Chains A and B, each alone.
Chain A
Amino acid sequence: MYKRLFRCVREFKKPTAVSLFFISLEAVVECFIPFITADLVNRIQADSGIEMVEILKTGLLLVVMAILSLSCGTIAGRACAKASAGFARNVRHDVFHNIQNFAFHNIDKFSTSSLVTRLTTDINHVQMSYMMIIRTAIRAPLMLVFSVVMSAIMGGALAATFVVVIPVLAGGLLLVSRKAMPAFRRVFKKYDRLNESIEENVRAMRVVKGFSREEYEKEKFGDASENIRRDFTTAERIVALNTPIMQLCMNFNMIFVMIIGSQLVVTTGSIGIGEMTAMLTYGVQVLMQLMMLSMIYVMLTMSAESFRRIAEVLAEKSSLTDPEDPITTIADGSIDFNGVSFKYVEGAERYALSDIDLHIRSGMTVGILGGTGSSKSTLVQLIPRLYDVSEGAVCVGGVDVRRYGLEALRNSVAMVLQKNLLFSGTIKENLRWGNPDATDEELVEACKLAQADEFVQSFPDGYDTFIEQGGTNVSGGQKQRLCIARALLKKPKILILDDSTSAVDTKTDALIRGGFKRFIPETTKIIIAQRVASVQDADLILVMDGGRIAAQGTHDELLKTSEIYREVYEQQTNGGGDDE
């Protein structure tokens, strides 16, 4: 699973390698610097008096080493930044591009906010971890081995201290991390929940204040916060044990070297005082490196969740794919549902649609009515193959939709979604989503048909008016009409409006429908609506109830045959009209 993630390194393998190389080089130089420093001090301390030339020589060597180390550090630092930022860029790129391949089914599976988090926070964690790995993965073990080897050479028997200290420290650190990590995971889960509840509180502030529940909310939050404090303290206290353990090991090392070393110096003479001091320095270095390694271990485990969440998106394959031999031309706008049943999740108990048999001729206008949750939207979403049927088949132009190329199919079936959206950009740019090559005249034409031209012209900037994110600077009815115009620009064979005129007044609504009849008679039109008036004059009206077609026919027929239809009709016409 993670292999796919690390394949994102791509062109940043080189900076990664450069960085690893120079960090290693820097580590080696760093190991030598204490030697030369010691040498410099020895020159000053020399019995024969101070040899200025020697001091200058050694000093120069040290300066050269420092500059070398500095250069290595600088090169490595830059390369490392490049590698980790680049890796993050590639991961983000791959994740986003893969999301674009998602089918509706995949999009439903991940919520919008979780996808955003994965693309931002999670990838940040990955970037930091990658940088950390580069910086320590080679350096720490290298320094560790170097120090152990050097002390074995210099200290001989004294290196035995590591036999005791390394296992104790490594074991101690591991134990602390092991204990701390589950504690932290628990805390973070609670923390996330706390944040959710703050968000809930902020969002619902009008309710909180409306019911004067400030004190109640404070109490609720206080309890949750206190709860987290307790857990967090426990977790932090476990981690805080690292410092004393580390110190204990260093102290042990010191005393061990002091006692055994002194004895060796006096009794055997196998080592000198200089070697003893060196042993102390290397001892500290060994322990520091172990500490570093334990830190990476903890950090990696902590960000493992981010790695997993990203890998999950990368591994997600679109549930809809083009057939091997896709058909790219759609003969006409006829639609057939042959024994179609559908459920959103394979294991679901309830079918969202069952036993749909429906035949629509090209050029017909079809209205669909039904209560919330009657699966009106689900039915029409099967036509442009936003989802695949569970049973039966949906045919467009006499051919099963699964045999068409997806792009060809969707270009012929234009759909205005219930939750329609405009994107930040000018009106022109938004409209051209329908057809990037549309001329200005074509844009105006489509807008006229959607009854949008008039209000667009009334804006100071006309078609160049900038639409804010989410289309907040146009009214609901205007937004809906722009979305219809955008769909019309596709010049589709089938046009589906999913409750797309709910905010448009009845008069304009009627004008739009009249326009459709006159100017795009060839196009099959499917209109989902709440208002009977919007579908009254359709060639065929479907009444949906509980995932089935409860009744179908023309307005007059349904008034006689369908109780639901009659009820809705009477309610809405009761005393005149209904306006939404």
Chain B
Amino acid sequence: MSKPMGRGPMHDGRKIDVKALGRVVKLFVSSYPRLIPLVVVCIIGAAIVAACPAIFTQQVFAALEEALKNGWDWPTVSAEILPLIGILAGLYAMSLTFTTVQSQLMAYITQGFLNKLRRKMFDGMQNLPIRYFDTHKHGDIMSHYTNDIDTLRQLVSQSLPSLLQACIIVVTVLCIMLYFSVWMTLLVLAGVTVMFFVSKKIGGGSAKYFIRQQRAVGKMEGYVQEMMNGQKVIKVFCHEDEVREGFDKANDELYEDAYRAHAYANILGPVIMQLGNILYVFCAIVGGLLVITGASNVGFAMMPFSVSLIVPFLNMTKQFTGNVNQVSQQINSIAMGLAGAQRVFALMDEVPEEDDGYVTLVNAVIDQNGNVTEVAHHTGQWAWKHPHTDGSLTYTPLRGDVEMTEVDFGYEENKPVLHEVSVYAKPGQKVAFVGATGAGKTTITNLINRFYDIADGKIRYDGININKIKKSDLRRSLGIVLQETNLFTGSVMDNIRYGNLDATDEECIKAAELVGAHDFITRLPEGYNTELSGNGANLSQGQRQMIAIARAAVADPPVMILDEATSSIDTRTEAIVARGMDKLMEGRTVFVIAHRLSTVMNSDVIMVLDHGRIIERGSHNDLIAQKGTYYQLYTGAFELE
């Protein structure tokens, strides 16, 4: 029973990647090193026990025949038969136990394995650099957790066990067949080879169209996504008919490919099965001929060709091809499962964010003389703990002094985004960045918190090279509010507390009051306990941003980065928020990015960026006096976006 979650992954042309398979098996086994061998024992046990009853039924029938021939009465016969049936019942009980244990354990193990895998993937993902998230589509990352995990579930819970079972049976039967007759076995193997090629051919066709189908699905989904997003525009322009036409085209294409892909897939089963039947007939005829002609047999049993050899052999042929069919049916889902596994592995193998930082942030007491003492409890004062190579330790008080010296940077090599950017921000200063989209404003802030690492130059925080600071501590000392607000599912209080997990309710409310969010929050249906979901879908953009600002406020960092933090708030509300923001910024080093000049006017320094270079710097009044780009922006002669 599978919940089809989204569309399946790309078909991999039915190629089984042995390396990936090995890795899946290894990972799977290592997740439950004691239970999995038990399951395997159960599977093997069940397979062997399943073969035994045939012997006893055969004996029952033999006894019956005897009885009929000799005219025994029922009590005599039953004395003969009932013990046999008793053994049979015993075997069934064993087999039933094996199956029950195996299926129950399998359910337990599969889910446990998936849980471990999911967590491993997620934990690994948390440690990936921002670059990974910037360069991968979110939908694509998501599908690792939905489609790929789902195909893996199929793989380990169904495909692999039944493959194992079928293989055990195939090997057993093959051995018995060789025991009876090598010639006949070769005949069967020749037939199986034909079956193999036919299934490869049909499977290949199926794979080809499955790939095309995936492509068509992608195209259709893209179209649907775009049009659903623009549905209101479509209505306003009465453009419905044109859009329908476009959709029908994509839809028809998808139909053609889906039809062919499934047609091939549906044919495979009957073809293999009937080939098996035909092979059976061949064996019967050849077997008959061999008996009649009295050809000499080669087999480990050293039996001549006879009826008593051919009949059981034929039965085994049936069993053999039946299991080959079973394997060929599994190949498809194994290929799909492995494609999913490869994607999962690719995510797990991503190189995590490196962190060689050894300078850490510690609670401290700083006396009047500026002497720093490290303490364990929260004091409201912080210091950088800096171990040196000679074994000594120095403590530097956390102040919020940021210096960038001639920094060069590019997201891709050979495509520089920033050129020789130098910025000096003294503790408590407000530094603003102004410039067109793509000028490099956000990039600068990405470098300060080490979302990306600089190519050349130096960035110092309180005089310490930021490469030496442990990333988590560096980021703890920097508060960020982004243009795109992201809230989490949970209460308003939880969302504010995200900035500082140790904050009390009072501290959270105080932070909200500080930034002017308290008022609207108390007017929400359940005040601070109002549950938010879907990124705060029930709040306005401005309200969301105010919560994000409160979240940064409760973290109480010495340095704040406000990247278009108030852009979605209308000017009237902004005036209210501005008062809170001013309070928030008091005594902190603040980097502000805004395209509303009113927001940045009162900064200590304004940097005008153009194509990754700082072209003007100074206070508002200085820049107005310069009559340069800033002046033009200010007077509205220039367009920012």
Contacts and interface: CB of A to CB of B under 8 A. Distances in A.
Do they bind each other? Answer: yes
Contacts of A195: 142, 145-146
B499 A211 contact: yes
Given A97-B244, A191-B3, A280-B57, 10 more contacts: A62-B281, A85-B258, A112-B228, A120-B7, A201-B126, A254-B57, A265-B67, A476-B437, A505-B640, A577-B636
Contacts, number: 433
A578 B229 contact: no
Interface string A548-580: 000000000000000010011001101111111
A205 interface: yes
Contact of B122 (A69, A221, A579): A221
Given A372-B540, A475-B437, A505 B258 contact: no
A59 B501 contact: no
A568 B572 contact: yes
B313 to A, nearest CB: 10
B344 to A, nearest CB: 14
B59 to A, nearest CB: 11
Interface string B311-344: 1001000100000000000000000000000000
Interface string B252-269: 101100111111011101
Contacts of B555: 211
A196 interface: yes
A84 B260 CA distance: 11
Given A195-B145, A200-B535, A580-B596, A73 B280 contact: no
B570 A107 contact: no
A505 B232 contact: no
Contact of B248 (A93, A302, A410): A93
B472 A212 contact: yes
Interface residues of A, number: 165
Contact of B230 (A80, A406, A415, A423): A423
Nearest to B541: A372
B4 A128 contact: yes
Contacts of A102: 231, 235
A104 B146 CA distance: 32
B307 A44 contact: yes
Interface string A86-126: 10110011001101111110010000100110011100110
Interface string A415-447: 101011101100000000110100000000000
A127 interface: yes
A458 interface: no
Given A59-B284, A85-B258, A476 B476 contact: no
B232 A417 contact: yes
Contacts of A66: 274, 277-278, 281
Contacts of B111: 229, 232-233, 236
Interface string A35-78: 00100110011000010100110011011011101101110111
Interface in A447-471: 469-470
B48 to A, nearest CB: 15
Interface stretch (A241-249, A358-366, A517-525): A241-249
| 7 nearest A-B pairs in the assembled complex, by CB-CB distance | A73-B270, A77-B266, A506-B636, A204-B486, A81-B262, A505-B639, A236-B107
Contact of A508 (B230, B287, B542, B639): B639
Interface string B55-77: 00100110011011000111001
Contacts of B427: none
Interface stretch (B91-99, B409-417, B418-426): B91-99
Given A82-B259, A210-B480, A578-B597, A196 B489 contact: yes
Interface in B146-165: 146, 157
14 contacts: A45-B307, A55-B285, A56-B285, A93-B248, A120-B224, A210-B480, A215-B126, A229-B112, A236-B107, A486-B237, A572-B598, A577-B597, A577-B634, A579-B633
Contacts of A225: 115, 118-119, 122
Contact of B112 (A77, A84, A233, A251): A233
A74 B267 contact: yes
B277 A62 contact: yes
A331 interface: no
A184 B122 contact: no
Nearest to B209: A81
B244 A96 contact: yes
Interface stretch (B22-30, B81-89, B182-190, B398-406): B81-89
Nearest to A119: B224
| Residue with the highest number of chain B CB atoms closer than 10 Å, among A63, A70, A258 | A258
Given A202-B138, A240-B104, A70 B270 contact: yes
A217 B126 contact: yes
Contact of B263 (A77, A247, A476): A77
B108 A233 contact: yes
B96 A248 contact: yes
Nearest to A41: B311
B103 A200 contact: no
B141 interface: yes
Given A81-B259, A120-B7, A255-B92, A266 B64 contact: yes
Given A44-B287, A86-B259, A202-B141, A69 B274 contact: yes
Given A384-B236, A507-B636, A44 B288 contact: yes
Contacts of A174: none
Contacts of A411: 238
Interface string A485-517: 010001000000000000111111000000000
A323 interface: no
Majority-rule SS of A interface residues: helix
Majority-rule SS of B interface residues: helix
Contacts of B52: none
B358 interface: no
Contacts of A125: 4
Interface string A209-238: 111111111100110011011001100110
A140 B405 CA distance: 77
A266 B3 contact: no
B310 interface: yes
B239 A209 contact: no
Nearest to B261: A81
B236 A77 contact: no
Contacts of B542: 372
Interface string B207-245: 000000000010011101110111111111111111110
Contacts of A215: 126
Contact of B281 (A40, A203, A372): A40
Contacts of A237: 104, 107-108
A163 interface: no
A213 B475 CA distance: 10
A100 B85 contact: no
Contact of B244 (A81, A100, A222): A100
A415 B103 CA distance: 62
B205 to A, nearest CB: 12
B88 A258 contact: yes
Contacts of A578: 571, 596-598
Interface in B411-453: 436-437, 449, 451
A345 interface: no
A3 interface: no
Contacts of B119: 218, 221-222, 225
B13 interface: no
A93 B238 CA distance: 19
B394 interface: no
A508 B639 CA distance: 8
B348 interface: no
Interface string B597-639: 1100100000000000000000000000000000001111111
Contact of B572 (A239, A417, A571): A571
Nearest to B289: A52
Given A200-B488, A372-B573, A423-B226, A40 B274 contact: no
B639 A407 contact: no
A80 to B, nearest CB: 6
Nearest to A115: B228
A265 B64 contact: yes
